[in-house]
Amino acid sequence: MILVPTRKCNTDTCGYCGVLKTDSGNLYFQDANETEVYARLLLLAEKTGDFELRFFWGEPLLQFDKMKRLIQYISYRDTAVTPADAGIDNIVQNKPINRSPEQVRGWHKGKRLFSFVINTNLSLLKDDWIQFFLEYDVKLIISCNGDLYSHCQTRGVVKEVTLKLYENIQRIISAGIAYQINIVSTPDVVARLHKNFVFLHEKLGGKVFNFLPVNYNGWDDASLAILESELEQVWQDMQRGGKLQDIQFINGEVDNRVALFNAELVVDSDGRVYPSMVILEKFFLEEKENICIADMREDIEAFESKLSAFDTENFSVYDAYINKVLQKKFASIQQNDYRSSEIFHEFLERIWK
């Protein structure tokens, strides 16, 4: 699930980013008590089976101190957990519960139930954070769109910022921190896609990638053909003896019943819970409250009651509503944008075979 510590970003210059960068109301994760946050996250995880906490949107490292305290607290409490075993009341009251790893369902790497991921542009990295990431096994998803031209062009940053990013990526990799590099491509730089993978691998040491063609960005037949050709070059270089034989794509099978947007629980920066990442987009601002599931600021009984009423049928209704909004706003470009994702998934299927 996605946790949004803040929608604010320290750069806010990416031309393709449609996220509304304004927080509505007080920041929930900044103000809330860790015990209360943990109890509600546990209920959400039990409901969905998703025990990955991914801090995302805006720049999460702007709220590093709060994230750090929450991760430390959750790691401590995870020796106890599930509402059925531990009792949600005990968690809310912060009562210690001793259980062996064998007693904890879904035990993560022998020590905890939840795993932690931070999506970041890495520009705010400090030396002492590296040790924290290692100690608490925090994975970093790093945004980097390739060589100097491609990254500056797509993210609207200057050369010095990009060179610092490259340095920080090398530090993260050499420290042994779990990572993946998120590389996106837009129609105006897609012709450099193969070169960008070679650059990230040979110059920075990157081996683990997640690639996304930017959606709702005006793909046409010509740029789609280039995308296909560039991915073919990547495929050829991934074969034995090729420049990219050591890289891997970790793009998984995502739940994309709503075209181009993952169906994944999102806890927004104000504490309200939604079923899809689409609620973060500017164009969905007036629609988002129509698909709100619950509010983390509610008392635990009311929160649990709302979750118990939420089921697969609700998901289907929300999906239909989201698709209707997308069709109305983006019908003219949705088909080509969806085709860009299809081209990439065809590439992934070749890798998975």
The predicted-structure confidence for 230-245, as pLDDT tens digits, reads as follows 999 999 999 988 899 9
Tokens of 325: 């909004």
pLDDT winner (highest mean) among 37-46, 93-102, 223-232, 322-331: 223-232
What does pLDDT average to over the chain? Answer: 81
pLDDT of 95 strictly over 50: no
DSSP-derived secondary structure for 1-20: -EE-S-S--S----TT--B-
Percent of the chain scoring above 90 in pLDDT: 34
Q: Is the four-CA dihedral 277, 279, 280, 283 of positive or negative sign?
A: positive
In this prediction, residues 43-63 reach a mean pLDDT of 88
* Cβ atoms of residues 229 and 246 within 8 Å: no
> What's the pLDDT score for residue 113?
79
Residue 51: which residues within 8 A CB-CB, separation 6 or more?
45, 106, 108, 113, 114, 115
* Cβ atoms of residues 48 and 262 within 8 Å: no
Q: Of the candidates 341, 311, 131, which has an alpha carbon nearest to the alpha carbon of residue 216?
A: 341
Q: Give the model confidence (pLDDT) of 195-223 as tens digits.
A: 999 999 999 999 999 998 887 667 888 99
Domain total for the chain? Answer: 1
Q: What is the largest CA-CA distance in the chain?
A: 61
pLDDT band at 108; cut points 50, 70, 90 = very low
pLDDT band at 25; cut points 50, 70, 90 = low
Whole-angstrom Cα Rg for the chain: 21
Q: Of the candidates 253, 261, 255, which has an alpha carbon nearest to the alpha carbon of residue 349?
A: 253
pLDDT of 32 strictly over 90: no
pLDDT band at 289; cut points 50, 70, 90 = confident
Task: Give the domain range for residue 57.
Answer: 2-352
pLDDT of 105 strictly over 80: no
Q: Give the model confidence (pLDDT) of 191-202 as tens digits.
A: 999 999 999 999
pLDDT of 262 strictly over 60: no
* Cβ atoms of residues 213 and 227 within 8 Å: yes
Tokens of 130: 């590296």
pLDDT of 102 strictly over 60: no
Tokens of 85: 């075993």
Three-state secondary structure call for residue 142: strand
CATH of the domain at 19: 3.20.20.70
Lowest mean pLDDT among 29-33, 42-46, 92-96: 92-96
| Number of neighbouring beta carbons within 10 Å of residue 49 | 7
Q: Phi first, then psi: what are they for 328, rounded to 5°?
A: -65, -40
Q: Give the model confidence (pLDDT) of 109-167 as tens digits.
A: 445 678 899 999 998 899 999 999 998 899 999 999 999 999 998 888 889 999 999 99
